[in-house]
Amino acid sequence: MHAVLRVDEVGRDRSAVVGGKAAHLGELTRTAGVAVPRAWCVTTDAYRAAVAGAPGFDALLDRLAGLSADDTDGTAAVAAGIRALVAARPVPEGVAAEISAAVGRAPAGTAWAVRSSATAEDLPTASFAGQQDSYLNVVGAEAVLDRVRACWASLFTDRAVTYRRRLGLDDRGVAMAVVVQEMVAADVSGVLFTADPVTSDRTVTVVEAVPGLGEALVSGLVAADGWTVRHTGGVASVVDARRAPRTVAVRPAPGGGTRTEPVAPDGPPLLTDDQVRALARLGRTVEPGLGSPQDIEWCLSGGRFQVVQSRPITSLFPVPGTDDDRLHVYLSVGYQQMMTDAMRPLGLSVWQMTTPRPMAEAGGRLFVDVTDALATPSGRDGLLAVMGRSDPLMTDAVRTVLDRGVVPLGEDPATPAPVHGAPTTEPLDPDPALVAELIAEARASVAAAARRICGRVGPELFTAVREDIPELRARLNNPRSTRVFMTAMDAAYWIDEHVGEWLGERPSDALTRSAPDNVTSQMGLALLDVADAIRPFPAAVALLRGAGDDVLEMLPSVEGGTVARDAILGWLDDYGARCVGEIDISRPRWHERPAALVPLILGHIDTEEPGAGRRRFDRGRREAEATREDLLARLRAGADGEARAARTALMIDRLRTFIGYREFPKFAMVSRYAVYRAALLAEADRLVAAGVLEDREDAYFLRFDELEQASRTGHADLALVRTRRAEFAAYGPLVPPRVLTSDGECLQGSYHRDDVPPGALAGLAVSAGTVEGRARVVTDLSGAALEPGDVLVTAYTDPSWSPAFVTIAGLVTEVGGRMTHGAVVAREYGLPAVVGVEDATRLIPDGSRVRVDGGSGLVEILGRDVSRTGGRNRPRGGAAAPGPRGRRQS
């Protein structure tokens, strides 16, 4: 066993022995132009020797593994016990001798920085910044031994354990090495990001500096001076500089440790522009050897920069690969599909098989490259016009890029390419029979697909799915189908534009209430009917309140349970193919997890009266009819009244006849996906039984063609599966941008409004009306504790959220547009709704009282509603709000 290794003799190929931090430093010692302080490493073998046989160590790890992720108190208690146990263990005699010898080889009185270097640290997908401990200005062998033991114990800080759990890392699978590095008595210290950690722009370097040691920056004791450097054509230019108030610096204390010293607040700049550019060039030297943008800690001593550690910037959103040097502009598919969560490889590949447009992948999300469309006048104008109707924030983000002049504008081709989403056909006259015909054709097509696919196994299954994909695509792109819902959407825009001009109001919201043939709205109302069927049976209701995943199996054991079960199964027969995030075929469907519906059903039982579904629909229809008659009467009374009224009546009839169908093509697609999913999961089970896969969900981390190959050959790359699982866990917390460039810049756009009151949040007005209510910040529909009068606040709502709409009084989402599913259903139910509210799930406290104005697009936080708080709703997990750049704990 080697307890001590020199850092200059290790590299990333020995991360398991020396940890991530030491491995990176080892690589840098061999990088020309990079100075690294002399250092050595106490290996993971030494850590394992120290904890081997420690009484109770394995038992504590078992207890830790048995705790739920939500049990923070239990986790903290067990982690504290492990830390105390490890800190009390003596350093093994042989290990102590090697450490003491390494210290003794340096001149007497040499000061050291002792830094943790865990095997799960400084990974491409997990930096573990600040999760374990480091110590500065440690003098003498005994002090180094004490600090090494403290670093070992810090493998089990509360924050490190919690971070590992979030990433799905096993506490038993990690180990701690320790870097012992000669201390640099720095005049200035700081951090250097080789990409902008806020915008992800890879052409930007960010530099921060404080006087003295970097501990002042890490601990938040002082604010840092900062510089932004942009790299263009090989030239580094300082484009921004800021100076922070300066009061103290951290310096080495005599005999060991650190102390704070006052500094002159009006001293000279810590770095010159030449030094800032030199640091930017240093970052460009470090990054290629380590394979990704880096977060570098540096020291300046005697006019010389030295790198004391470097780790990947794990918060950056990944960038799609390109095969040229020009700037590419990508639009998020997730913001258009109301599903911004990361998708697994199987889901990504099946979606790309479904859509006719080529897509790029980044961060588990899909993007469309619109660079070529933006390069011609007609393409640019058409794309901006379509986006302006659907997502003003995306439009603004694209304009931000275009305003820089970085996307060259050429000439239109002789035959301009069609713009996706732009009207291409004449509108239809109202014809309910056409809608009924299209729905029947789609249902028959799904049924035929099920007959062709169900029961197939092995390569035949994949052939059957591949042969069915063209039919799915043909259904999604059926010109008759597209013409139906485009007629409705264009009618809505026409009504709001022209009636708005003539009467000063936007009436399309009220006109779409209880429109016929809206499968998404019908789904929500049908769940009210399920509640009606169950409500008369108290024993069945009581069982639902305490039921688990086996709810359907348990129901027949009580009075009325069979009726309840049949009602739920009937609903699942109609709508069970849906789920939250349903465009991802790897997501479990409702018919697989019916217990997810129980909270919604119980909410309806407790708060609604029998027949509520029919009454709601009838009320909405009457309101729409009354709005129609009122509008036409007022138009007839005005200038050119009869002509305006006749034209408006035609548009209203087009809108009400066809807008409900807007939801059906996606429902038919999702129903087909459920057929594919069931067959693919059965095949995954067969592969598990054959030893090809370890778990059926391994199939989610293979693309469709890879899963097909595994089925054909009887072999799957399980190492690739494990890698992709880790990547998926890392992608989850990332917030995808609406617009992404090939430089890595993430843009979300802005509304540029000057009428937003203090404390209010601006969004896109999509369903008129004003309501005040308790905000319920919900991430998981199955755990939503919603009551009548609540305002639902969530990241996005795809059609699967519609059953919750019959309870709530208003809707606020971070994602959406005027014609996206949540907006359409909110208008049909008459719910005031504001979508596209950036960071709503973070900025609106759960349980607070809010006012939602669906006409102006404003959400106001009025205060805490103390009368009703609690519940199972939690803000969306993910990356924390950006703090001061460079601030961390080690």
Rounded CA-CA distance 264/499 in Å is 66
- Hey, is 361 helix, strand or coil? strand
**Rounded Cα distance, 210 and 117, in Å:** 24
Active site residue 821: yes
Output the CA–CA distances (angstroms, integers) from residue 371 to 331, 398, 630, in the order listed. Answer: 10, 11, 47
* Rounded-to-integer distance, Cα 30 and Cα 37, Å: 12
Distance in angstroms (rounded) separating the CA atoms of residues 155 and 42: 14
Reference 298, options 279, 311, 314, 274; nearest CA is 279
Q: What angle do CA 28, 33, 38 make, to 5 degrees?
A: 50
What is the rounded CA–CA span in Å between residue 514 and residue 230? 54
Asked if residues 64 and 171 have their Cβ atoms less than 8 Å apart, the reply is: yes
Which amino acid, 34? V
Kindly report the length of the chain: 890
Dihedral of CA 107/109/113/119: which sign? positive
Q: Which two three-digit tokens encode residue 602?
A: 């119980």
- Asked whether 205 and 184 are in contact (CB, 8 A), the reply is no
Separation CA 161–CA 168 (nearest Å): 10
Among 595, 566, 532, 563, smallest CA distance to 806 is for: 532
What does each C-alpha distance from 92 to 15, 49, 84, 139, 280 come to in angstroms? 22, 7, 17, 20, 43
Out of 231, 328, 604, 821, the active site residue is: 821
Distance CA 1, CA 83 (A): 24
**Phi/psi of residue 405, nearest 5 degrees:** 75, 20
Considering Cα of 374, then 375, then 381, then 382, what sign does the dihedral take? negative
Strands 248-252 and 111-118, bridge-based pairing: unpaired
Residue type, 726: A
Please answer whether residues 199 and 223 qualify as being in contact, where contact means their C-beta atoms are separated by less than 8 angstroms. Answer: no
Distance, in Å, from the CA atom of 844 to the CA atom of 861, rounded to the nearest integer, reads: 7
Q: Which residues contact 144 (CB under 8 A, 6 or more apart)?
A: 99, 103, 112, 114, 138, 180
Task: From residue 878, give the alpha-carbon distance in Å to each of 339, 438, 601, 804, 875.
Answer: 15, 41, 29, 24, 9
* Structure-token pair, residue 625: 């009819």
Query: Which H or E run includes 362?
Result: strand 360-362
Task: Give the Cα separation of 536 and 840 in Å (integer).
Answer: 39
As given in the structure block, the two tokens for residue 535 are 């409500």
* List of residues 6+ apart from 180 with CB closer than 8 A: 39, 40, 41, 42, 99, 102, 103, 112, 113, 114, 115, 144, 148
- The catalytic residue positions are 821
